Structure formats: structure tokens, C-alpha cells
A = this chain, B = another copy of it.
Amino acid sequence: MVLSKSCDYGLRAALFLAASEREESFVSISEMAKALGLSFHFLTKILQTLTRKGLMVSTKGPHGGVRLARPADSINLMDIVIAIDGPRLLNECVLGLNGCSDQHPCPLHRQWVSIRSGITELFNQSTLKSVAQRIAEGSYRLIDLIEEPEKKV
């Protein structure tokens, strides 16, 4: 798992907001949870983190909810990932060695740095807007096909 589940959910919610074409108004978390097939309470907790980190703005009461704090083309996926999972992804060793670096590399360090920079580039270059546009085109989805993931027998 490259991203935690919390991070997956946070990204899906952020993309849902960006794709909702209602950037001005607040969308309730329960509506989002329903649309995305996620636990309301769990999503609430995750979005609280994003609100605390300044990526979203929330308001309580009727017609309350959350919205993106900035235009969707000024937030990229890496912002969300770092807010939820921290900078782990940026410098983690593929063999889990702490202190792995150019100076003290593990035997896979060079190759892994290359792959990792591909990942960070993807998250850095993808804005919520650019990704949401693909969703709006209708050919991409944000919700699970199957409710319960198949477990091993």
C-alpha cells in the first residue's frame, strides 16, 4: 500500500469536491460519504485533518459542510498526501532501512529513488482540478465497484 486508507479516502473526497462544480458552496460530509461509499464518521475524521491543515474550510449548522480552501487548480495531490500520511513517501527506503540515503544507500537505493521521484512527480503535477476534469468527462470513477473486497480463502 503506497498510501494509507485514510489518505485514499481523503484524496477521493477532495477529488469529489473538485469535480462537484460547486466550489463556492459547502458540501455536507454525509452526502460525500454516501456518494463515495465511505463511513461517515471515518470520513469526518479525515476531513477534519484536512481542515486543520488548511486545505479545506468547514462550517457547521444547516447547509454546512466542507469545501476546498483554495481553487482546485492550486491544490495538488501531494498536498493532500502529505497532510494525511506525512512526508513518509518522499524519503522512505524500499527495504525499510532508516537513514538510507545517497551517502548510505541500500543496494536498491538508486533504482528506488528513480521510481519514487516518478511517484512524487505524479502527485505534484496532478492538481485536483486536472484530475477532477477527467472524472467529469465520465470515463473515470471514484467509487468501489464491489462493496466488500474479496478476502483470501
Q: Which of B106, B126, B150 contacts A108 (CB 8 A)?
A: B126
Whether the Cβ atoms of A134 and B115 lie closer than 8 Å is no
Whether the Cβ atoms of B5 and A105 lie closer than 8 Å is no
Flag whether A95 is at the interface (Cβ < 8 A).
Answer: yes
Could you say which residues of chain B place their CB within 8 Å of the CB of A11? 95
- CA distance in complex: A104, B106 (Å): 37
Q: How many copies does the complex hold?
A: 2
Chain A contact residues, CB within 8 Å of chain B: 1-3, 5, 8-9, 11-12, 15, 86, 88, 92, 94-99, 104-109, 111-112, 114-115, 118-119, 122, 126, 131-132, 134-135, 139-146, 149-150, 152
Q: A1-B1, A105-B141, A106-B141 are in contact. List 16 more A-B contacts (CB 8 A).
A: A1-B2, A1-B88, A1-B92, A1-B96, A2-B94, A9-B96, A95-B142, A97-B145, A98-B144, A98-B145, A98-B150, A99-B144, A107-B132, A107-B135, A108-B126, A111-B126
